[in-house]
A and B are shown apart, each in its own frame.
Chain A
Amino acid sequence: MPQVRIIAKNFMDMVASLPAMKLDKLYENAFICEAILRSLPPLAKKYVLQLLYIDVPVAASSLQEWVLADGASKHRVAVDRLIQLRVFTEFVDRKKETTYLLNPMFQRNLQEHIVHGGVLPREPMAANITVRLPSLEELDIYAAQQWECFLLHLISSAEAEVTTKSISPSMMKVFQRGLLSQIDKEGPRLTESGFQFLLMDTNAQLWYIIREYISNSEDRGVDSADLISFLLELSFHVTGEAYNVNTLSDIQRTTVKDLADLGLIKLQQGRKDSWFIPTKLATNLSISLSDATSRKQGYVVVETNFRLYAYSTSKLHCEILKLFARIEYQLPNLIVGSITKENLYKAFSNGITSDQAISFLQQNAHPRVAERVPSVPENVTDQIRLWESDLNRVEMTPAHFFDDFPSREVFEAACDFAREYSSLLWEDPKKMRLIVKTEIYGHMKDFLSHQK
């Protein structure tokens, strides 16, 4: 299986990678235009806004005039991004002058938005029909629980209680692909990327899952562009408001069920209608929030004696901590463990780096210790780094070994030749043997054959 390093690629990268036809079709939806605009780098946003009411191609030079010298790289990034997303179309005329034209569809939608203000994708249901709507806090808790349950299900199907009802086993397989690997009959094991996945924050994890979900959509007979537009549209709904399920198409209804399992939305059933309530996970979908707005409260306290106390009732947290600590006691609301060399060696061999482990401990530090600097004691972080460097004491270099030189002259010349390329790793003048790096093996052979 190819080793794919998990990068929390965001939604828009995926949109950008869509074929041109589909992309143009996506821009027919005003919400997509809005979401795309919001995802752009600040400078690119400015360019779009500036050109919003200009229908003729604009010379690249006149855009660049706005930028100071040290912003040139930012300018290039912005323009590349705009072209990549087909928001800008690039023309080069006969005088070799580059001009840009804003995508007319995109332009029209945004103009409309600016004149009429934002509109909601669909009207929320009246409060008298929807009884007992959850409060925002309840909704957040629900979303977190549902997501955790899903993760637990993902990493060890046996551990999870049967709360995730409808995610089909085949769907689960899709998500697990790349995260778990089945070796012989020993039951699934987390792969390197699986471990890294668990240490990412919720938003990054969500990206990964949603990405898999979208890229797999064609197999389920759902057009990926439709799915993307629905997901983006979903992010413009208001958190905590109820929306009638009847306003959705059939495909969207099945999607909504899947998303409910992930905790993106909550489904409720009334006497006559049923409705869905988007949670914060769904409304944050289109903005890639990497900063602390989404950060949950931490729960881990690490002491200088390598003891680790995690105030958590969650099984998932326990599973994650098990990755690099020995769990000693498990009390109703507290997990006590210790960070040991053996556990960390195991983690390192699973592909977790010391920085990942440390940043996990720091990010999830209990509020009481989070105020302290550093939140994880320095001796612990240093030791974790030292343990990692212990494993890297030997450096491997592919090399070739030469011996049986016909004469000392040839041997000396060969040594000098290798030195010139700074590829001589070892020499033994007495027995006339030497070792060189693999890169110059070819040159070395040529050189020696000329010597003869």
Chain B
Amino acid sequence: MTPVSSKQYADDVSLLMVLIDTNPLFWSSSAAPLSFSKFLSQVLSFLNSILLLNQLNQVMVIATGLNSCDYIYDSSKGPTSQRVESLLQKLEEFVVKDEELNKDDSVDGIGSSLLSGSLSMALCSIQRIFRSGSLHPQPRILCMHGSQDGPGQYVAIMNSIFSAQRSMVPIDSCVIGSQHSAFLQQASYITGGVYLKPQHLDGLFQYLTTVFATDLHSRSFLQLPKPVGVDFRASCFCHKNTIDMGYICSVCLSIFCKHHKKCSTCGSAFGQPQTVSTSNQKRKAP
């Protein structure tokens, strides 16, 4: 699993996985600070500039929809001349397909995108590149996320984060929505990526090129945005609520908001909680 450093290109060759939030509920809501087409044109310019920086740079784009996610662009395939066209076409197909899936299912309350799915897809393709060929570029993931965190995906996302940390893939996050994303804060914090919530989204391209275009090699001597405070709160496994305090299984570290008779993950039987007068809630591990 661990990447073999000797197999990497010497310098600043990077493999950038860009996860684009295509959640229609977010982009149509009033929370969206700019139109999707404006957003897309800035991102496309950013992709072009990444590919411009180095002949060996590689970019893959994964669309994160409401119910599904899919690869919509891979720079290592196809001619360089019709980059934008092929991406837009794939994106359109994806959005239509994603919408169809939605019809069978009623939208849940928050309408969050399937971040866990696209993160795992990104990590899978990074692993594939690690294992194929003799030399591979240095990978990193950039999440361009707007919609709210879906607490239901907590476990899956945390697992992806830890697997990214293990294979030493930093997750950069660029939050476009109005609220901070606790998931992405944790993701960037744990994997050593950059978390940024741009103030002026009209200048998104400038944010992207100044901060997120920086290759991993140069990051060691550059001053990049530091995390200002990370929301470390976890979601409980039973109701998927974000909680400050809760119960934690002493065997498998599963988190619950209420007392249960036995752990739903590993099946260990719990004892009775102590009386209310004493502290009946254990702090969850940070």
In the complex, A41→B84 CA distance in Å? 28
The 8 Å CB contact of A46, one of B11, B214, B220, is B214
Contact call B80/A118, Cβ cutoff below 8 A: yes
Q: Which of B47-102 contact A (CB under 8 A)?
A: 48-49, 51-56, 79-81, 83-84
Contact call A49/B48, Cβ cutoff below 8 A: no
In the assembled complex, the CB of A452 is this many whole angstroms from the nearest CB of chain B, namely 62
Contact call A46/B205, Cβ cutoff below 8 A: no
Contacts of A117 in B (CB 8 A): 48, 80-81, 83-84
In the complex, A114→B79 CA distance in Å? 16
Contact call B206/A118, Cβ cutoff below 8 A: no
In the assembled complex, the CB of B260 is this many whole angstroms from the nearest CB of chain A, namely 49
Contacts of A238 in B (CB 8 A): 79
In the assembled complex, the CB of B209 is this many whole angstroms from the nearest CB of chain A, namely 5
Contacts of A43 in B (CB 8 A): 218, 221-222
In the complex, A119→B209 CA distance in Å? 21
Q: Is the CB of B275 closer than 8 A to any CB of chain A? A: no
Contacts of B84 in A (CB 8 A): 117
Contact call B134/A42, Cβ cutoff below 8 A: no
Q: Which of A33-88 contact B (CB under 8 A)?
A: 34, 37-38, 42-43, 45-46, 49-50, 52-53, 65-68, 70-71, 74
Total residues of chain B contacting the partner, CB 8 A: 33
Contacts of A66 in B (CB 8 A): 222-223
Contacts of A291 in B (CB 8 A): 9-10, 135
In the assembled complex, the CB of A164 is this many whole angstroms from the nearest CB of chain B, namely 29
Q: Is the CB of A182 closer than 8 A to any CB of chain B? A: no
Contacts of A110 in B (CB 8 A): 52
In the complex, A120→B81 CA distance in Å? 7
| Total inter-chain residue pairs, C-beta < 8 Å | 85
Q: Which of A264-294 contact B (CB under 8 A)?
A: 286-287, 290-293
The 8 Å CB contact of B218, one of A42, A52, A286, A287, is A42
In the complex, A37→B52 CA distance in Å? 8
Whether A70 touches B221, Cβ cut-off 8 Å, given contacts A50-B209, A53-B205, A291-B9, is yes
In the complex, A249→B59 CA distance in Å? 35
Chain A CB within 10 Å — which of B134, B217, B221 has the most?
Answer: B221
Whether A114 touches B53, Cβ cut-off 8 Å, given contacts A120-B80, A291-B10, is no
Q: Is the CB of A115 closer than 8 A to any CB of chain B? A: yes
In the assembled complex, the CB of A109 is this many whole angstroms from the nearest CB of chain B, namely 11
Q: Which residue of B lies closest to A48 (CB)?
A: B53
Label chain A's interface by main secondary structure. Answer: helix
In the assembled complex, the CB of A229 is this many whole angstroms from the nearest CB of chain B, namely 18
In the complex, A293→B209 CA distance in Å? 28
In the complex, A71→B80 CA distance in Å? 34
Contact call A42/B12, Cβ cutoff below 8 A: yes
In the assembled complex, the CB of A289 is this many whole angstroms from the nearest CB of chain B, namely 9
Task: Fill in one digit per residue for B4-19: 1 if any A CB lies within 8 Å of its CB, else 0.
Answer: 0000011110000000
Q: Which residue of A lies closest to B87 (CB)?
A: A117
Q: Which residue of B lies closest to A65 (CB)?
A: B223
Q: Which of A94-110 contact B (CB under 8 A)?
A: 110
In the complex, A292→B55 CA distance in Å? 16
In the complex, A65→B222 CA distance in Å? 9
In the assembled complex, the CB of B218 is this many whole angstroms from the nearest CB of chain A, namely 5
In the complex, A298→B271 CA distance in Å? 67
In the assembled complex, the CB of B193 is this many whole angstroms from the nearest CB of chain A, namely 17
Q: Which residue of A lies closest to B7 (CB)?
A: A292
Given contacts A66-B223, A292-B134, 12 further A-B contacts (CB under 8 A): A37-B53, A50-B210, A53-B205, A67-B222, A71-B221, A115-B45, A117-B81, A118-B51, A118-B80, A118-B81, A119-B81, A120-B80
Identify the A interface with B (CB < 8 A): 34, 37-38, 42-43, 45-46, 49-50, 52-53, 65-68, 70-71, 74, 110, 113-115, 117-120, 238, 286-287, 290-293
12 A-B residue pairings within 8 Å (CB atoms): A37-B52, A38-B52, A46-B213, A49-B210, A65-B223, A66-B222, A68-B221, A68-B222, A68-B223, A113-B52, A118-B80, A291-B9
Per CB-CB distance, the 3 closest pairs between chain A and chain B, nearest first, are A71-B221, A42-B12, A118-B80
